[in-house]
Amino acid sequence: MSEPIRLRGIRKQFSGKTVLHDINLDIAAGSVTVILGPSGSGKSTLLRCINHLEKLDAGTIHVGDALVGYRRKGQHLVELAEHQVALQRQSIGMVFQQFNLFPHRTVLQNVMDAPLRIRKEKRAVVEARALKLLDQVGLAHRVSAWPRELSGGQQQRVAIARALAMEPGVMLFDEPTSALDPELVGEVLQVMKQLAHSGITMVVVTHEIGFAREVADNIVFMDNGAIVESGDARTLLDSPQHPRLREFLASVL
């Protein structure tokens, strides 16, 4: 079941420098939102805040009805214990630039690991789901392979299947093709395009403008830690209003 995301007043600092400035954003359940912006604009930090990999200095994030990373105690917010945050993350899948597969486990074992270890599901149920997901990402023929035997694109597709194995309501992608050789980018984007039509909420940090044009419902453009312009994807890509977005698009197209 897909979940909406609601961000209010998000502020984040590193070593006294503010890298996110009062971010407010609503992401509808089942939508695809692409976050664009130059390097250092705060895109990845914002994404990591959504599943509490980065702690907030101010503001709140809700995924569905859940307040991410915190609970209310009177007028204050108290950070959840790590095991409580881990429970919340079960509904928030994330795919990183690096694939982070377990090198000592096969493709199938990598995909099955979290549902078995964290959710204590029955092995037969988990294996059936994992095989279906690996077929979905075009790797049914590599279930017994070791990560070192796969190309970068194949490893990233395994990472996507692994995140989906927890049946999340939200999927976050942090520049998932940036570590790939150019000829391998297409195979990962194709899997993401298929996923975009499945109804799951997706938030994607990427420089792939063609992907954004084809798949995104909404574009969020960030610069210097702030949202400069956001709205309907095709409208923003075809008729950007802010000069900084026009400049950015001219540099990447």
Residue-level pLDDT at 75: 86
**Fold observed for domain 5-251:** Rossmann fold (3.40.50)
For residues 161-194, one letter each, b for 16 or more C-beta atoms within 10 angstroms of the residue's C-beta and e for the rest, the string is bbbbbbebbbbbbbbbbeebeeebbebbbebbee
Residues 135-156 have pLDDT tens digits of 999 999 999 999 999 999 999 9
Please check the confidence at residue 253 and state whether its pLDDT lies above 90: no
What average pLDDT score do residues 231-241 get? Answer: 95
What average pLDDT score do residues 224-249 get? Answer: 96
The string of DSSP letters for the chain reads ----EEEEEEEEEETTEEEEEEEEEEE-TT-EEEEE--TTSSHHHHHHHHTTSS--SEEEEEETTEETTEEEETTEEEEPPHHHHHHHHTTEEEE-SS----TTS-HHHHHHHHHHHTS---HHHHHHHHHHHHHHTT-GGGTT--GGGS-HHHHHHHHHHHHHTT--SEEEEESTTTTS-HHHHHHHHHHHHHHHTTT-EEEEE---HHHHHHH-SEEEEEETTEEEEEEEHHHHHHS--SHHHHHHHHHH-
Residue-level pLDDT at 252: 86
Q: What are phi and psi of 219, to 5 degrees?
A: -115, 135
Residue-level pLDDT at 55: 94
Average pLDDT in the chain: 95
- Provide the whole-model pTM: 0.95
What average pLDDT score do residues 24-46 get? Answer: 97
